[in-house]
Structure formats: C-alpha cells, structure tokens
C-alpha cells in the first residue's frame, strides 16, 4: 500500500496525517481477517484523506458536525448515529441525530431542535462519574467502546434504548462510541454510531475490528477541525461582544446619544437586505457574501467608536457657558458682588451726608439695570437659532462692567489651569476685572503633534477646516455664539469623533474579509457633493455600503425619541427633511429612493419609533419618476 502522505493536499494538517498513517497500520493487519461486507478493505483511503481536507475547510459549525456524523455513518454503513458536544458545565449535549430507517433527522442544518436533555457526566449530588451510560463513559475515559449487541451488555445501562425500541418497533443492536479529542488531548465530544449493516444483505452486524480504527482516525481529524471551528466561533463571539460593549458604552456615556449605536446597525442591514433583494434598477446586481455582511454589520456597530474620545461636557453642552459645570453660576456671583458694591457705595454716600432721596433713586436704577443685564446674560446662555448683532453688542457692553477681585486666583487650581494662567504676569491685588471676560487662560492651544493628524499631508487623507485653537472658554466669546450652544472649536471636537473612529479602526489588524471596516465606518458623515467630512469624499469616491450608513445615521438621528435636547419628530417630517438633503446632494439619491420604495423606512419606524411618531407618509413626491421613453 502506498504511503498516505504521498501527494496529499495542504488542506489536511500534519496531525491528521500521522493519525491516519498510524491507524492504517492497524487496519492493514485487521483487514486480513475481515469477513463482513462494508469492511475497511472496501474503503478508499484517498477518500479518507479527502474527508479530512473537507472537514478542515468547513467553517459552518452545524454543517461541519453534520458532515462528521454522516461521513462516519457512511464509512461503517451504519443506520444511525448521534454526535454529542461537551458543554462548559461538563455535560454531553445532543447536537446531531440521524436514524435512516426511522426517518429521524434532528439538529444540524435540519432546523429541528433535539429536545432530549444533556447527559450528565457526573452525579449532581455525589459528584461520582457517570459510567453507566456508554457515551458518558467514553467522554470521561477517552476509550472507544464497540458493543456487538446492546441487549447483551452487562457493563452499560441501555434501559432507555430498550424503552425507545419498544415505542418504535426498532431494534438497537450494534454500537460504536468514539471520543472526539482535540490536538491537546481534551475530549470535546462523543460520536456514537448505531447498527452497522452489511452492504450486501443489509442486515445489522457488529462494527468490525477493521472499521473501528478507521472511524477513530476520521474522528480524530474531525475533532481537530471541529475544535478549531469552535475556537474560531468563540473568538468571533468574543469580538462581537467587545463591539457590543463599546457600542453600549458610547450610548451610555451620554443621554444625547441614547441607543444610536444599537439602532444604526439595524437600519443599515435593512437597507443592505433591500438592495440585495432588488431585481431591477441601480441595485439589481448588488449582492453581499456572508463575509461582506459581517463586514458591514461590524462597520455599522463601530461607526461611532471614536466618540469615546469626545468629552462629555462637549457632547452634553446644553448652555453656552457650560463646561464641566455651568459657569453662569460664577458670573451670577460676580453680579451679586457688583450689586453689593453698589449698595455699599450708596450707604457710604448717605452716611457722608449726601442727598438720600437722589442717592436712593440712583441706587435703585443701578440695581434694576444689573438685574436686567443678568437676566439678559442668562437668556443668551440658553442659546437659540439666531444671535442678532445688537444682542452681541449688548453682551460686550455688559462685559465692560467691572468688579474688584481681592483673592489670588492662581492658588488651589489644577496644574493645567495654572500653566495657562502663567502665560500672563499675575496682577497685584486687589485688581479690577471685567464682569465678563475673554482671558488668555481661557484659550487652550493645539499641541505640536496634532499636525500629524490634521495637517495637509496627514497619512489618513483627512481634509478638515481646523480651528486655530483646541478650545476657547472665553465668556464673551461663548455668550456670543450665533447659533446653538457650541463654539467652532467644540463643534470641531464633536465632528472629530469620526476622525478618531478612522484612526482607531485603522490600527486594528482586521482579517482580509473585514479590511473595509474603517472605510465603511468612517464615511457616514461624507456628503455626495464632497462637502462632508473628514475626507471631503464625493459620491463616486464612496462605496455603496458607506453611502448606506450615511442614510442610516441621519435617519436614526432625525427620528430618535430619546434625545433630551429635542422633541421626537414625526415620520413624515423626517422623510421631508431627508428629501431636502437628497436635493442638496448631501445623501445618495438612489439609496434614498430604495429606502422609500422598499418600505425600509416604514419597517424601521414600526420597530423603533414611538407610536405617536408614526404617521402616514405619501412618498410619491419624493420619488424620482422614470424617464419617458
């Protein structure tokens, strides 16, 4: 007989070759005495090698386990069999069951669940090993057991088997039970074959001595393949769990993000499925393999991972003066000081013999003006859609009011704040200061290394309009914000999350089928006209999945009902706003058409929007009409 290793393809690992060669030595001797039909003499050893290669290549665990059982059954021409997997709590779980003559096919790719409870490997009360059941004995001992007739067995308890036979009219006779050992010698499962048959007469016969080592050779190779597949699946589960952990952490970090990172992947995959299902139009040829689907799902789940770098006080900035706390309280205290000073000046003037009625009228007018000025500052602090020029002028006028500081503002502060204050000489106390001020220590400059990220020749291809400073806490500067509550620097910092997302994802060693994750995840703020960020890509420079994610991200943000800074929008309002975005070439028109025509918008709204948000939408005005022929 030729060497098994001769001309063997690379798919069969060395461990499998050594095992098969060892068992073949046993088989050659046993084959001399074999008499039953279906013995090893009729089995093509090249096929055994091909089975090993096929098992090593299979990535779907259900198909892999099913193939292990079916190949073993075929080698022995067995009528039935069961494959068990050892669980983490040390039990044997039924994974695949087949009995041809009874038409039983459970587990695996059948979609039919096996309802039998797992076999206990140890007594739950005493902890004693369960050696009564042949499968549990094999799992514990690692010894293969060949039983010619279960009804004659004195060592193992087959009462359950006999009861099954009584109910079905079946006759369970010969059993071959083999452990599945991985390459570390750990038993990960058990393969049990039932009722070997003669290939000529079809009668049930014992499993031959020559068949057993061949099955053991195959199951040894199968165990390694199965263990590798299970380890790969465990690693994937761990990876996805980390992704879910990051997404949940980002959503939990701020009430302003809510369940955004959970819902965007759902909507993205709805759109992907709709594109795959298209049989006409621009997406008729669009398709996704299993690997590409995984790639897109992971991209969507990680699309905002860079938000872990965004300070909460920026994301949650509800007023113009808010940082870690709302500095309006500090300014209110200054107003209180100015008012006290006004009262003291009034009382001193009266005590010095001044005209009390005239002084009182002047004092009351001064206090009323300060109260009104503070109310105006507080109103501006809230923010709004527009800050008129005259309001900005009034803020600057109020800023000119002075107050007297007598305490050192450079003691007891943080190291970073102290460094900022040291940029200017400390004034002699007491010192007169403006009620509102833009001081040098309010400005946070960019660090020298940031040019590597934001510079014109940065390695990532970012094209960003970068503010001169990292942050500017100036009080007048913040109160004069024209729209909303964010400064130019803070808005850039929030937008910077996508920059950080790309940088973070580019550093991960993604396998080949996930290489596009940074591209997909990093493109959801780009616009079709090239005015988006961070790379100013246009439609032709973006892949379809990246454009899908842009629509999913926008629609989720528009329709979300868990944002504390805005009321939940009606579905019709969300669609209308997105139609304007399509018209302005901010989102992909073809994908928006698919979003509407496929009903994805409706399916998503029924699952994730509040009932009061879901109103009737006439999508006709938003659809592109086919060109007349």
DSSP state of 111: -
Q: Is the model's pLDDT at 35 over the cut of 80?
A: no
Which residues lie closer than 8 Å to 181 by C-beta, 6 or more apart?
142, 187, 188, 220, 223
Average pLDDT over residues 189-207: 93
Rounded distance between C-alpha atoms, residue 576 and residue 197, angstroms: 70
Sequential DSSP letters for 232-293 = HHHHHHHHHHHHHHHHHHHHHH-TTTTTHHHHHHHHHHHHHHHHHH--SGGGTT----HHHH
Higher pLDDT, 256 or 385: 385
Q: How far is CA 464 from CA 46, 502, 505, 532, 595, in A?
A: 61, 14, 19, 9, 30
pLDDT of the residue at 100 = 94
Quickly tell me which residue has 């008729």 as its tokens. 284
Average pLDDT over residues 275-296: 94
pLDDT digits (tens, 9 = 90+) for 77-106: 999 999 999 998 889 999 999 999 999 999
pLDDT band at residue 75 under the 50/70/90 scheme: confident
pLDDT band at residue 57 under the 50/70/90 scheme: low
SS (H, E, C) 482-496: CCCCCCHHHHHHHHH
Sequential DSSP letters for 277-291 = H--SGGGTT----HH
- The structure tokens listed for 328 are 């309006």
pLDDT band at residue 626 under the 50/70/90 scheme: low
Are 193 and 207 a contacting pair, CB within 8 Å? yes
Q: Average model confidence (pLDDT) for the chain?
A: 87
Rounded distance between C-alpha atoms, residue 472 and residue 492, angstroms: 12
Q: What is the largest CA-CA distance in the chain?
A: 134
Q: Is the model's pLDDT at 44 over the cut of 70?
A: no
pLDDT of the residue at 28 = 44
pLDDT digits (tens, 9 = 90+) for 332-386: 999 999 999 999 999 999 999 999 999 999 999 999 999 999 999 999 999 888 8
Rounded distance between C-alpha atoms, residue 424 and residue 439, angstroms: 10
Quickly tell me which residue has 């089928």 as its tokens. 513
Q: Is the model's pLDDT at 522 over the cut of 90?
A: yes
The pTM of the full predicted model, rounded to 2 decimals, is 0.74
Q: Is the model's pLDDT at 19 over the cut of 70?
A: no
pLDDT of the residue at 313 = 86
Average pLDDT over residues 214-235: 81
Higher pLDDT, 320 or 312: 320
Q: Is the model's pLDDT at 452 over the cut of 50?
A: yes
Average pLDDT over residues 321-342: 95
pLDDT digits (tens, 9 = 90+) for 436-451: 999 999 999 988 777 6
Are 568 and 608 a contacting pair, CB within 8 Å? no
Is 412 exposed, middle or buried, given 0-12, 13-18 or 19+ CB atoms closer than 10 A? exposed
Average pLDDT over residues 517-521: 94
pLDDT band at residue 48 under the 50/70/90 scheme: low
pLDDT of the residue at 132 = 92
pLDDT band at residue 564 under the 50/70/90 scheme: low
Q: Is the model's pLDDT at 592 over the cut of 80?
A: yes
Rounded distance between C-alpha atoms, residue 395 and residue 376, angstroms: 8
- Domains parsed from the chain with CATH numbers: 14-233 (3.30.450.40), 258-308+490-622 (1.10.3210.10), 328-451 (no CATH)
DSSP state of 567: P
Q: Is the model's pLDDT at 458 over the cut of 90?
A: no
Average pLDDT over residues 236-248: 87
Rounded distance between C-alpha atoms, residue 81 and residue 198, angstroms: 16
Is 178 exposed, middle or buried, given 0-12, 13-18 or 19+ CB atoms closer than 10 A? buried
Rounded distance between C-alpha atoms, residue 495 and residue 310, angstroms: 9
Q: How far is CA 15 from CA 7, 56, 184, 187, 260, in A?
A: 16, 12, 11, 16, 48
Q: Is the model's pLDDT at 255 over the cut of 80?
A: no
Q: Name the region of 185 (left: φ>0; alpha: ψ -120 to 50; beta: rest).
A: left
């Amino acid at each position: 007989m030729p060497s098994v290793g001769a001309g063997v393809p690379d798919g069969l690992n060395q461990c499998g070759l050594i095992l098969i060669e060892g068992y073949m030595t046993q088989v050659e001797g046993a084959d001399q005495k074999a008499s039953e039909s279906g013995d090893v003499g009729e089995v093509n050893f090249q096929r055994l090698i091909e089975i090993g290669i096929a098992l090593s290549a299979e990535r779907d665990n259900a198909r892999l386990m099913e193939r292990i059982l079916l190949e073993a059954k075929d080698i022995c021409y067995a009528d039935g069999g069961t494959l068990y997997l050892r669980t983490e709590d040390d039990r044997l779980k039924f994974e695949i069951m087949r009995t041809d003559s009874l038409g039983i096919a459970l587990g695996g790719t059948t979609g039919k669940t096996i309802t039998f409870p797992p076999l206990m490997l140890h007594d739950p009360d005493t902890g004693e090993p369960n050696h009564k059941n042949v499968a549990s004995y094999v799992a514990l001992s690692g010894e293969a057991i060949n039983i010619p007739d279960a009804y004659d067995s004195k060592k193992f308890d087959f009462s359950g088997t006999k009861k099954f036979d009584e109910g079905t009219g079946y006759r369970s006779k010969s059993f071959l039970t083999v452990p599945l050992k991985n390459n570390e010698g750990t038993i990960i499962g058990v393969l049990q074959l039932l009722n070997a048959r003669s290939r000529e007469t079809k009668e049930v016969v014992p499993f031959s001595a020559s068949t057993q080592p061949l099955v053991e050779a195959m199951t040894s190779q199968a165990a390694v393949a199965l263990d590798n597949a299970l380890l790969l699946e465990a690693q994937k589960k761990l990876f996805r769990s980390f992704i879910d952990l990051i997404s949940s952490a980002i959503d939990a970090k701020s009430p302003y993000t809510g369940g955004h990172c959970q819902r965007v992947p759902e909507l993205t995959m709805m759109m992907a499925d709709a594109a795959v299902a298209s049989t006409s139009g621009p997406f008729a040829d669009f398709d996704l393999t299993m690997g590409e689907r995984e790639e897109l799902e992971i991209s969507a789940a990680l699309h905002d991972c860079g938000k872990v770098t965004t300070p909460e006080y920026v994301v949650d900035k509800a007023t113009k003066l808010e940082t870690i706390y709302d500095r309006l309280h500090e300014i209110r205290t200054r107003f209180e000081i100015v008012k006290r000073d006004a009262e003291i000046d009034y009382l001193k003037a009266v005590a010095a013999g001044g005209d009390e009625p005239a002084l009182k009228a002047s004092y009351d007018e001064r206090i009323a003006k300060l109260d009104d000025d503070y109310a105006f500052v507080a109103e501006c602090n809230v923010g709004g859609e527009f800050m008129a020029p005259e309001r900005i002028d009034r803020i600057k006028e109020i800023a000119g009011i002075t107050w007297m500081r007598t305490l050192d503002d450079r003691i007891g502060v943080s190291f970073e704040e102290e460094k900022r204050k040291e940029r200017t000489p400390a004034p002699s106390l007491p010192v007169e200061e403006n009620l509102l001020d833009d001081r040098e220590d309010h400005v946070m400059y960019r660090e020298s290394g940031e040019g590597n990220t934001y510079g014109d020749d940065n390695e990532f291809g970012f094209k960003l309009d970068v503010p001169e400073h990292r942050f500017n806490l100036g009080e007048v500067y913040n109160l004069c914000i024209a729209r909303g509550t964010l400064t130019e620097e803070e808005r850039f910092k929030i937008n910077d999350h996508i920059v950080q997302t790309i940088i973070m994802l580019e550093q991960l060693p993604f396998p080949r089928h996930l290489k596009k994750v940074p591209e997909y995840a990093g493109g959801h703020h780009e616009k079709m006209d090239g005015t988006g960020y961070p790379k100013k890509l246009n439609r032709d420079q973006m892949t379809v999945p990246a454009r899908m994610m842009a629509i999913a991200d926008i629609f989720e943000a528009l329709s979300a009902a868990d944002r504390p800074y805005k009321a939940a929008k009606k579905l019709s309002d969300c669609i209308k706003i997105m139609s304007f975005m399509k018209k302005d070439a901010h989102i992909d028109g073809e994908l928006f058409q698919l979003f509407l025509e496929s009903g994805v918008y409706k399916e998503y709204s029924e699952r994730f929007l509040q009932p009061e948000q879901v109103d009737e939408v006439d999508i006709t005005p938003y659809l592109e009409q086919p060109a007349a022929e």
